[in-house]
């Protein structure tokens, strides 16, 4: 099958998935899974068993475990109590609260807690959605932009991994500079895009009636169950994040090396669930029947399956080849950013950087940029679409949302991912990467 026909078929089936889901009121995930079998099985080379392999097992397991853990926490009502105290502390200046979510996300992530950031802050953000009228999409954008704005420093786990992947192609010193460039660009972009989203989504205008209600009364003391929930959340965050912090910033040693490798987020959340059971806190039947967002899991899994068909149909290889052979030098930064952003729907940064890093020298020569800057473009593109609802990042930042909010956010986050990608492409066409290149070289 020709590459052109493959692209046409993929676009047609993807559009059909969206349209039929809306018209038939059917799960978009089930349609996505069906069309994945048709695309790869009828028009591609994959067997039905191979198509089953497109199922995003790691993403769904992570979401299931994290969601289950926070359902137990939410049942205690502790997040409502946190909102009450933050409202009281703000003394009516609630316009700063969304910025506080953004800043706290950036700080936690910069300290090496990229995995922990949505786990810790997304439920608080959605508590403000429920109790103070914060826009659900702004809740996601607040924590996501804070995370990408500070999460790729060379000292963080994500930044050091990407630097190691790039080092083989561009050298040790340039790979460090790539880390600085990525951090600089993504931080500035995150701040600018967040400020825009803040005003567009009216982050400065929370529900005045709800805010007045909180300000008019003193918060109730935390109950015993709520105090226990806070201790369990704190324990999960500390055990997950502190060993990584020690290994990357403070004092690398065998103990924290073992802990950072073996005490993963999923395991720690399950230990938290066990703690709630032993303390007889939470109704497990209610959680599994009514609170776990099963429909969201189906939507995410099905959409990932159809998007993964792009690999089998050769679309990803086509985009990579077109970039290296057909794009004029001036457009290379924008083109590689957009292609990396599109590929991040079907892969992740740790798979895309090794794909394009070998081309960095040739693309740098063609565009007049240092190879390290080209790799920074790739990294930026991968982060542009990470807010999509089918990515690990975009879905984790929905923790704390109810089913209605998740359904509302599903299409909104797709749209937001495209807006982020186009915004990055636009500033790339304006020559921002030349400026970044001149600053660091």
Convert the pLDDT of each residue in 273-323 to its tens digit: 999 999 998 888 888 888 888 888 888 888 888 878 877 787 777 776 777
Which of 31-35, 239-243, 348-352, 357-361 bottoms out in mean pLDDT, i.e. has the lowest? 348-352
Of the chain, the percentage scoring pLDDT greater than 70 comes to: 94
* CB distance 170 to 132 below 8 Å: no
pLDDT number for residue 215: 67
Average pLDDT rounded to a whole number, residues 2-27: 85
pLDDT number for residue 348: 67
Q: Rounded to two decimals, what is the model's pTM?
A: 0.79
Number of other residues whose CB lies within 10 A of the CB of residue 289? 10
Go through 153-171 and write b for each residue having 16 or more CB atoms within 10 A of its CB, e for each that does not. bbebbbbbebbebbbebbe
pLDDT number for residue 30: 92
pLDDT number for residue 346: 60
pLDDT number for residue 258: 85
pLDDT number for residue 214: 65
Residue 165 pLDDT level (bands cut at 50, 70, 90): confident
Which of 133-142, 273-282, 348-357 bottoms out in mean pLDDT, i.e. has the lowest? 348-357
Report DSSP state, residue 249. Answer: I
Residue 259's contacts (CB-CB under 8 Å, 6 or more residues apart) are 239, 243
- CA 371 to CA 328: how far, in whole Å? 16
Average pLDDT rounded to a whole number, residues 11-28: 86
Higher pLDDT, 198 or 111: 198
pLDDT number for residue 324: 66
Instruction: Tell whether the model's pLDDT for residue 429 goes beyond 90.
Output: yes
pLDDT number for residue 173: 80
Indicate the domain borders of the chain.
Answer: 3-52
Average pLDDT rounded to a whole number, residues 373-402: 86
């Amino acid at each position: 099958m020709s590459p052109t026909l493959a692209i046409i078929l993929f676009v047609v089936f993807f559009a059909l998935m969206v349209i039929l889901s809306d018209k038939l009121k059917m799960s978009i995930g089930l349609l996505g899974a069906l069309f994945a079998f048709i695309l790869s099985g009828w028009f591609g080379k994959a067997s039905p068993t191979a198509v089953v392999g497109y199922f995003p097992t790691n993403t769904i397991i992570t979401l299931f475990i994290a969601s289950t853990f926070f359902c137990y926490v939410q049942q205690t009502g502790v997040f409502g109590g946190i909102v009450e105290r933050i409202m009281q502390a703000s003394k009516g200046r609630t316009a700063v609260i969304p910025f506080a979510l953004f800043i706290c996300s950036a700080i936690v992530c910069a300290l090496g807690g990229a995995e922990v950031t949505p786990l810790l802050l997304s439920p608080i953000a959605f508590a403000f959605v429920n109790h103070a009228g914060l826009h659900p999409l702004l809740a996601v954008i607040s924590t996501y932009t804070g995370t990408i704005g500070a999460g790729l420093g060379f000292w963080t786990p994500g930044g050091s991994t990407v630097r190691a992947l790039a080092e083989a192609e561009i050298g040790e010193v340039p790979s460090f500079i790539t880390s600085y460039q990525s951090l600089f660009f993504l931080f500035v972009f995150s701040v600018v895009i967040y400020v825009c989203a803040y005003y567009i989504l009216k982050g400065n205008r929370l529900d005045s009636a709800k805010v007045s209600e909180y300000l008019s009364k003193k918060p109730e003391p935390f109950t015993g169950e709520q105090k226990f929930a806070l201790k369990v959340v704190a324990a999960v965050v500390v055990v997950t994040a502190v060993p990584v912090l020690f290994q990357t910033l403070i004092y690398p040693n065998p103990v924290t090396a073992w802990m950072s490798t073996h005490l993963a987020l999923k395991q720690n959340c399950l230990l938290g669930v066990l703690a709630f059971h032993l303390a007889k806190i939470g109704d497990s039947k209610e959680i599994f029947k009514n609170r776990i967002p099963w429909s969201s899991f189906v939507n995410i899994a099905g959409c990932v399956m159809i998007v993964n068909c792009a690999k089998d149909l050769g679309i990803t290889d086509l985009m990579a080849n077109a970039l290296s052979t057909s794009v004029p030098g001036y457009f290379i930064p924008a083109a590689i950013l957009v292609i990396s952003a599109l590929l991040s729907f079907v892969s992740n940064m740790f798979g895309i950087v090794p794909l394009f890093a070998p081309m960095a020298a040739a693309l740098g020569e063609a565009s007049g940029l240092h190879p390290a800057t080209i790799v920074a473009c790739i990294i930026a593109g991968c982060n542009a679409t990470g807010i999509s609802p089918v990515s690990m990042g975009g879905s984790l930042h929905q923790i704390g949302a109810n089913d209605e909010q998740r359904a509302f956010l599903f299409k909104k986050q797709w749209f937001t991912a495209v807006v982020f990608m186009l915004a990055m492409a636009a500033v790339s066409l304006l020559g921002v990467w030349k400026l970044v290149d001149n600053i660091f070289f």
